[in-house]
Chains A and B, each alone.
Chain A
Amino acid sequence: MEIIKKLDGDKFELKVEGRLDTTTAPELEEVIVAGIEGVKELVFDFAALDYISSAGLRVLLSAQKIMNKQGDMKVIGVNDTIMEIFEVTGFSDILTIDK
C-alpha cells in the first residue's frame, strides 16, 4: 500500500494505492490521526485502491466520525470492486461517495 498526502490549507487529500487491509490499515490511521487536526475537508482518492478490508473500513468510519464534528469527508475515484464492498457493508449509506 502507498499513501500520497496532499495538504492544501484546510483541505487534506489522501491518495491510497494498493491494498488497504489488516496489515496496512494502521499505517493509514496513523497518517490520518497525525494530520486531521484543523482539517475542514478530508478527501480520500481511491482510484488506485485494489481492495479494502474491514480493518480499512474501520479507519474510514473513525475518520468519518471525526469529520462529522469538524467538516466534510468525501471519498472519490471509487471503482466497482470498492463500491461493491461499500454497498455490501452498508458504508455507502454513511459515506459521501463520488464515483
Chain B
Amino acid sequence: MKKTVRELTKFARIHHSLGGKIFRSLVMISALVGIAAIVFGFILYSSAVNREYRTKTYNLACTASMVLNLKTIKEKSGQVLSIYDSIPEEERQDAEDPEYLGQFKSVEDMTHNKLRWDVHELQLQNDMVAGYVAALDLETGRMIFIADGDQASTYCPPGYYDTFNEKQISTWMEGNKLSFLDRINGAKSMSAVLLKMERYGYRCTAGKRLFDVNGYPVFIFYDSDMTQAANAAKTFLWQYILVIVVVAVLAEIIILLFVNKRMVKPINELTNAAKAYTEDSQAEHRAGRYFEKLNIRSGDEIENLALTMKDMEAELADYVRNLTRVTAEKQRISTELDVASKIQEGMIPNIYPAFPERSEFDIYATMDTALDVGGDFYDYFLLDDDHLVMVMADVSGKGIPAALFMMASKIMLNNYSVTTRNSPAKILEAVNDSICSNNKAEMFVTVWLGIVEISSGKMIAANAGHEYPAIKKADGSFELYKDPHGIVVGAMSGMKYKDYEIQLEPGDMVFQYTDGVTEATDPSGELFGTERMLEALNYDSQAEPEMLLLHVREAIDDFVKEAAQFDDITMLGFKYLGPKEDA
C-alpha cells in the first residue's frame, strides 16, 4: 500500500523533495558536462601548444638549412662518417667510450668550431635549448653527431651518438603523421618529434634533412624545451577546472534558488493548504479558507494547479452545501415516512384480543410491510352487534403512492359499509365507481370483503380480484375456496361484483391473505405458492388464529431464507365459535 504524505518519515520526506532531486540531477549533469569540457578543452589546448612548438622548431631547422655553410657541413660530415664507417661495429657499441670518441678528434678544427658557433648563434637567437648537425644511421637508429652547437658541459663531440626507435627515425625521415585535429587545422607534415629523454628532459626535436653523405642522411636539428609548455598546460588545466567548477556551482545555486522559489515553495504552500483543508473537520466552513488565500504567481503549471485547487475548493463547498441540503431533505422525508408509517399502522386495528367481550368468534391479523409504508391492508369492524366486516386488500404498486391509495380505499370501504349497510358486492361496486371517477394515477386495489352474521354464522362475501380465501370446516382441513372473482377495484367504472354465501359452523375458520404470502420468493426464484401455504395452515389442526398466522409466517421465513422480503405480507385469521349460549 502506498503511504500518505503524513505517514512518511522525515528522511523519506527529504528524499521526496523536488529540490533534492533537481540538485542531484544538476550535480550529475554538471559533472558530466564539466568532465567532457575539461577533457576536450585540454586536448585542444595541448595539441595547439604542441603544434606551435613543433612548427617553431621545424621552421628554425629550415631557416638554418639555408643560412649555414653547407659546404663545411658536407666536408665535416664526410670526415665524421668516413671515420665512423672505418670503425668495426664491435668497437662502436659504446658512444661514450673515450677510445671510440678519440678517433674523431681530427675533425675538430677551426672550420668545425666556426660551424658550431654559427649553429649556436641561431639557437640563442631563437630561444632553443640545443642545435646540432647530425647524421642518421637508419640500420641502427643512431643519430651520429657531426657538429654540436652546445658550448657547455653537455657538449656532444663528433662521432657521439644517441639511439632512437623506428618511429622517431621515420618521423624525421618522412614527417609527422597528421592527427585528425592537425588535418582540420590545416597543419603541414613536419619532421618534428616530441621526446622525453633522461639526458635532455622533455624536448621537441625538429630536423631538416640537408643531403646524404656516404649513404647517411645528414640533418640540421634544433631542440626546443617542452617543459615550459607542459607546465603551462598544467596551469591551464587547473585554472580551467577551477573556472568550470565555480561556474557550475554558481549555476546550481541560482537554479536551486529559482526552483525553490518558483516550484518548491508554491508546491509546499499547496500541500500545507491541502493538509489544513483535510484537517478542518467542519466541512461546511472550509469554503474559501485555504486555497483561496494562496497567492501563487509562478506563471506556469503550478499556478494553474493552484487556480484549479481554488476552483475545486469552491466547487466542493457548493457540493457540501448541496449535500447538506439534500441530506436534510432526506432526513425530513425519512422522518415523515416514519410518521406516515405510524399513521398507517394506527389506521389498522392491531390490539388483541380485538373484541374481548365477544365469545362467538376469534380474529387475528398481521401486516409486515416491505418498505416503510405499504400498500396492503386488512380491516375488521362491527357494523352492529350481529355483523362483523372483514376486509383484505392489496394496492397495486408500493411505497407512498400505494400507502395514500390504501388509506383512501380503506376509509371508503369502511364508510360505504357502515353508512349503506349494503351487501359486499354493492359496497365494492360503489367504492369502485367512486375511485374510478378520479383515478389519475391509474392505481387499483384488490379487495376481499366478507360480512359475517354472528348469530347464525352466515358469511356473505365478494371478491374484487383478490386471492382465494382458505376455509376450514370444523373437522376438515384448510382448502382454497374458489369464489367468484370480479375485476380489481379502480380498473374501470360500472363493473359488477358477485356476492356469495358460506355457512360457517362453530369451529370453522377463514384465512385471508395477500400475494406477499403466495409470492414470497426463495433465493432460486421459486414462489412460496398456495400448496405450501395450505400445508402450513394444516400443520396444527388445533391452532387458534394467532398461532395459525405464526405457523404460516415461520413457513415463509424457512422458505425464503436469506432472500429479502419484497412485498408486504398480510394475513387475517377468523374462527367462528358459535352463537352466544344465552342467545
Contacts and interface: CB of A to CB of B under 8 A. Distances in A.
Interface of A: 22, 53-55, 57-58, 61-62, 65, 87-91, 93-94
A93 B466 CA distance: 14
Contact of A93 (B397, B486, B515): B486
Interface of B: 394-398, 442-444, 446, 464-468, 485-488, 491-492, 495, 515, 519
Contacts of B446: 54, 89
A94 B492 contact: yes
A22 B397 contact: yes
Contacts of A88: 465-468, 485
A55 B396 contact: yes
The 3 closest A-B pairs by CB, nearest first: A90-B487, A89-B465, A54-B396
A62 to B, nearest CB: 5
B397 A58 contact: yes
B220 to A, nearest CB: 113
Question: Which of A53, A54, A57 has its CB near the most chain B CB atoms (within 10 A)?
Answer: A54
Contacts of B486: 90, 93
Contacts of B467: 88
15 contacts: A53-B519, A55-B396, A57-B396, A57-B444, A62-B442, A65-B492, A88-B468, A89-B446, A89-B465, A90-B485, A90-B486, A90-B495, A91-B487, A94-B487, A94-B491
B397 A61 contact: no
A54 B444 CA distance: 9
A57 B495 CA distance: 17
Q: Which of A61, A88, A89 has the most CB atoms of chain B within a 10 A radius of its CB?
A: A89
| Secondary structure class of chain A's binding surface, majority of residues | helix
A67 B2 CA distance: 64
A91 B491 CA distance: 9
A52 B325 CA distance: 39
Contacts of B443: 58
Contact of B485 (A55, A61, A87): A87
A61 B491 contact: yes
B442 A89 contact: no
Given A61-B444, A61-B491, A90 B397 contact: no
Contacts of B487: 89-91, 93-94
B259 to A, nearest CB: 60
Contact of B465 (A53, A62, A65, A90): A90
A75 to B, nearest CB: 15
B491 to A, nearest CB: 5
A57 B492 CA distance: 13
B485 A89 contact: yes
Contacts of B464: 90
Nearest to B402: A54
B465 A55 contact: no
Given A62-B442, A88-B465, A90-B465, A57 B485 contact: no
A22 B397 CA distance: 7
Given A62-B442, A88-B465, 18 more contacts: A53-B519, A54-B394, A54-B446, A57-B396, A57-B488, A61-B442, A65-B442, A65-B492, A88-B485, A89-B487, A89-B488, A90-B485, A90-B495, A91-B465, A91-B491, A93-B487, A94-B487, A94-B492
A53 B395 CA distance: 11
B444 A58 contact: yes
A6 to B, nearest CB: 26
Contacts of B398: 22
B95 to A, nearest CB: 115
Nearest to B468: A88
A88 B466 CA distance: 6
The residue in A53, A58, A61, A90 that gathers the most chain B C-beta atoms within 10 A of its C-beta is A90
Contacts of A57: 396, 444, 488
Nearest to A90: B487
